[in-house]
């Protein structure tokens, strides 16, 4: 983690007579919205599990962004992956661990600043961190935002048809299959000459046996 440094002022002149194209840079009014959760880190001296907090950075854009996490008290905190890049449509967890939870630091508030750049824009966002005494209760326990799946991965809702509609659809399918089996049984065999039915419509004995078996099963379904 790097210590937060004051930003240097912008130089008014140019060197070597080269002119600087101001229009090539984003105007100060332009900013890149930062999706960082939670907005505050609270540590509890008597609760060991709270000595480690997670900052989640989301990148909903179509381009890669770069980030850097700075702190006003780098000796009190350690951060896993405090600087790096985040590809489009993804997120990263920045694990912040408090290094000194002694009572002398209770009530102390420190400031983190996340600097983000991408798509020709830059922005920063501040997150406060505080060490409190005791343990977290149900009222003040921090909760993170729910992880949202991309639309392509979100589970689809499961729709069920009413029971009456399902029965009607099953009956219709059974009737159609029964009519097809009866029509198939009425076709002549290959060994039977028939001028009214084309030769390609003649069937074999095995095919008629299969249709007769299927028709018997359908009859049992109707009579049940």
What tens digit of pLDDT does each residue of 165-206 get?
566 677 777 788 888 887 777 777 777 776 677 777 777 878
More confident site: 98 or 157: 98
Instruction: Give the per-residue pLDDT at 214.
Output: 80
Q: Encode pLDDT of 110-152 as tens digits.
A: 999 999 999 899 999 999 999 998 887 765 555 555 544 444 4
Instruction: Give the per-residue pLDDT at 35.
Output: 93
- Tell whether the model's pLDDT for residue 207 goes beyond 90: no
Instruction: Give the per-residue pLDDT at 15.
Output: 33
Instruction: Give the per-residue pLDDT at 210.
Output: 80
Q: Is the pTM of this model over 0.75?
A: no
Instruction: Give the per-residue pLDDT at 116.
Output: 95
Cβ atoms of 77 and 97 within 8 Å: the answer is yes
Closest CA to 138 of 51, 38, 47: 47
Instruction: Give the per-residue pLDDT at 213.
Output: 77
Alpha carbon of residue 37 to chain centroid = 15
Instruction: Give the per-residue pLDDT at 130.
Output: 93
For the chain, list the strands marked E by DSSP: 2-3, 35-37, 40-44, 52-59, 65-71, 77-80, 83-86, 90-98, 109-118, 121-132
Separation of alpha carbons 30 and 25, rounded Å: 10
Average pLDDT value over all residues in the chain: 75
For 41, 42, 90, 150, 185, the CA distances from 36, given in Å and listed in that order, are: 12, 15, 12, 17, 71
Convert 85-121 to b/e letters by CB count within 10 Å (16 or more is b).
ebeeeeeeebebebeebeeebeeeebebebbbebeee
Domain boundaries, the chain: 23-132, 163-223
Cα atoms in the 13 Å half-sphere on the side-chain side of 170:
10
Q: Encode pLDDT of 21-31 as tens digits.
A: 333 333 434 57
Q: Rounding to the nearest 10 degrees, give the CA dihedral for residues 155, 161, 162, 164.
A: -160
More confident site: 44 or 14: 44
CB count within 10 Å of CB 212 equals 13
Instruction: Give the per-residue pLDDT at 3.
Output: 46
Instruction: Give the per-residue pLDDT at 172.
Output: 78
The highest-level CATH class for domain 23-132 is mainly beta
Q: Encode pLDDT of 33-86 as tens digits.
A: 999 999 899 999 989 888 999 999 999 999 999 999 999 999 999 998 899 999
């Amino acid at each position: 983690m790097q210590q937060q440094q004051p930003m240097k002022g912008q130089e008014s002149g140019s060197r070597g007579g080269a002119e600087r194209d101001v229009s090539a840079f984003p105007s100060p009014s332009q900013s890149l919205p930062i999706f960082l959760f939670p907005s505050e880190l609270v540590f509890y001296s008597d609760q060991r599990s709270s000595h480690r907090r997670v900052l989640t950075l989301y990148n909903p854009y179509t381009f890669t962004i770069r980030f850097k996490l700075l702190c006003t008290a780098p000796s009190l905190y350690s951060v896993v992956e405090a600087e790096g890049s985040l590809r489009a449509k993804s997120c990263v967890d920045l694990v912040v661990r408090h290094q000194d939870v002694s009572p002398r630091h209770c009530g102390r508030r420190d400031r983190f600043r996340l600097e983000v750049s991408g798509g020709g824009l830059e922005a920063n966002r501040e997150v406060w961190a505080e060490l409190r005494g005791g343990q977290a209760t149900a009222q003040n326990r921090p909760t993170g935002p729910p992880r949202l799946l991309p639309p392509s991965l979100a589970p689809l809702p499961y729709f069920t048809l009413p029971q009456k509609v399902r029965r009607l659809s099953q009956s219709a399918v059974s009737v159609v299959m029964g009519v097809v089996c009866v029509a198939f049984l009425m076709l002549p065999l290959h060994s039977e000459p028939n001028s009214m039915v084309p030769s390609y419509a003649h069937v074999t004995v095995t095919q008629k046996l299969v249709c007769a078996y299927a028709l018997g099963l359908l009859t049992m379904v109707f009579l049940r």
